[in-house]
Amino acid sequence: MAKITIYGKTYSLKSSSSEVSIEEAAAYVDAKMHELAGVGKKPPSLDLAVLAALNIAQETLQLQKKTQVKDQDQEEKIEQLVDALENELHNFEK
């Protein structure tokens, strides 16, 4: 059980990820909330949490889309290589 602090409030949580620590995620959320709080007047912490969640969701979706495009490009290149190899094998067998 980890104790983390986000925007001045402490939480006790158990992490479900082995790739990213809960402390690292909490620090990221905390930084986003402080970044948003620094713009204009200070909104309530719930509003900051929602804004931070939206920003983080947008970043995540952008990364997912970039990854999908990259994966599609790699699949197309692999298919082209397989086709080229099959053609060469077919020509070799003649």
What are the structural domain ranges in the chain? 24-93
Question: What pLDDT does 41 receive?
Answer: 73
71-73-74-80 Cα dihedral, nearest 10 degrees: 150
pTM of the model: 0.68
pLDDT tens, position by position, 52-75: 999 999 999 999 999 999 999 999
**What confidence category does residue 18 fall into, taking pLDDT thresholds of 50, 70 and 90?**
confident
**What confidence category does residue 2 fall into, taking pLDDT thresholds of 50, 70 and 90?**
confident
Farthest CA pair distance, the chain: 77
Residue 34: name the closest of 61, 71, 7, 63 by CA.
Answer: 7
CB atoms closer than 10 angstroms to residue 71: 10
pLDDT at 1 over 80: yes
Question: What pLDDT does 86 receive?
Answer: 92
